[in-house]
Amino acid sequence: MLTTLSRKMIMALTGAFLCLFLTIHFLGNLQLFMAPENARIQFNAYSHFLSNNPLIKLVSYVLYLSIIVHLIDSILITIKNKKAGTTYQQDRRKRASKWYSRNMGILGTIILIFLVIHFKNFWYVYKFGHAPLDSNGQKDLYEIVVTTFQEWWYVVIYVISMIALCYHLIHGIYSAARTFGLYHPKYVRWVKYIGITFSVVVCTGFALMPIYIFFTS
């Protein structure tokens, strides 16, 4: 049986890997902000490279595994916490903590629902669907992206999900540093600021992508 500390360590390790993935995903997707014709060729070539590189393939399996382990572990932790915690007739304990630190499960659920939509929108269509081809004969993922974000409600779903992700990341990074045993006040402060900056930059950037495409094409 794993200890309560080890369970949190699994959350932190898988979470850290997912953050690393987010960084790469974010940097790659910045290509969407280029002029449409350049963006189409370059983004499709990039997607083609990713989906055919054996190393990336291996990393992608680690990624799927991380998501699943992060999810299962969070359910186990929540079940135990619900059993160990309690309620009061009058409960004002909320004054002592941030709302997003108490609602990581709800934020995580929003992100999970988003992931299903996101995988269905792009991953599934690219891998198993009938993607059109661009002038270089490569699958035109850019076209799929542009078509998807013509729908305003997809844009809304994506933006809301990125807000949820942002808060999830702010607490997640902060909390993971604790779990990794970072106790020096100076570095704890650094991690806090780095974590907030990372979360806001990445999530704002991601949220701007559907908005940019909706208004430019």
Partner 1 sequence: MKLTLKIWRQKSQQQAGELKTYTLNDLNSHMSFLEMLDILNEQLLLANEDPVTFDHDCREGICGQCGMMINGIAHGPLKNTTTCQLHIRSFSDNDTIIIEPFRAGAFPIRKDLSVDRSALDRVISSGGYISTNTGQAPDAHAIPITHQTTEAAFDAAACIGCGACVATCKNGSAALFTSAKVGHLSLLPQGKEERAERVINMVNAMDEEGFGHCTNTEACEVECPQGISVLQIARMNYEFIRAKIFEKEK
Contact residue for partner 1 among 104, 145, 146, 157 (CB under 8 A): 104
Does 91 contact partner 1 by CB under 8 A? yes
Query: 3-class SS at 191?
Result: helix
Is position 13 an interface residue for partner 1 (rule: CB under 8 A)? Answer: no
CB closer to partner 1, 61 vs 88: 88
Please tell me whether residue 208 binds partner 1 under the rule CB under 8 A: no
N-to-C CA span, the chain: 54
How deeply is 149 buried, as exposed, middle or buried, from its count of CB atoms within 10 A (0-12, 13-18, 19+)?
A: buried
* 120 part of the interface to partner 1, by CB under 8 A: no
81 part of the interface to partner 1, by CB under 8 A: yes
Quickly count: other Cβ atoms within 10 Å of residue 39's Cβ: 17
Residue 55 near partner 1 by CB under 8 A: no
Selected from 52, 55, 61, 89, the binder of partner 1 by CB under 8 A is 89
Considering the rule CB under 8 A, would residue 101 count as an interface residue with partner 1?
A: yes
Name the β-bridge partners of 139. Answer: 133
Stretch of residues binding partner 1 (CB under 8 A), selected from 38-46, 79-87, 155-163, 193-201? 79-87
Number of residues that bind partner 1 (CB under 8 A): 40
Closer of 8 and 139 to partner 1 (Cβ): 8
CA Rg value for the chain: 19
Which residues, in sequence order, are bridge partners of residue 91?
none
Restricting to residues 123-182, name those near partner 1 by CB under 8 A: 171, 174-175, 177-182
Selected binder of partner 1 within 95, 128, 186, 215 (CB under 8 A): 95
Contacts of residue 199, Cβ cutoff 8 Å, sequence gap at least 6:
165, 166, 167, 169, 170, 173
Q: Which two tokens stand for residue 19?
A: 């953050």
- Shortest distance in whole angstroms from residue 18 CB to partner 1: 17
Min separation Cβ 103 and partner 1, Å: 10
Between CA 117 and CA 124 the distance in angstroms is 10
Q: Which is nearer to partner 1, 5 or 55 (CB)?
A: 5
Amino acid at the residue 76: L
Q: How far is CA 216 from the centre of its chain?
A: 25
Q: Residue 36: how many CB atoms within 10 A of its CB?
A: 12
50, two tokens: 């990713």
Residues that bind partner 1 (CB under 8 A): 1, 3-5, 7-9, 77, 80-81, 83-93, 95-98, 101-102, 104, 171, 174-175, 177-183, 185, 188
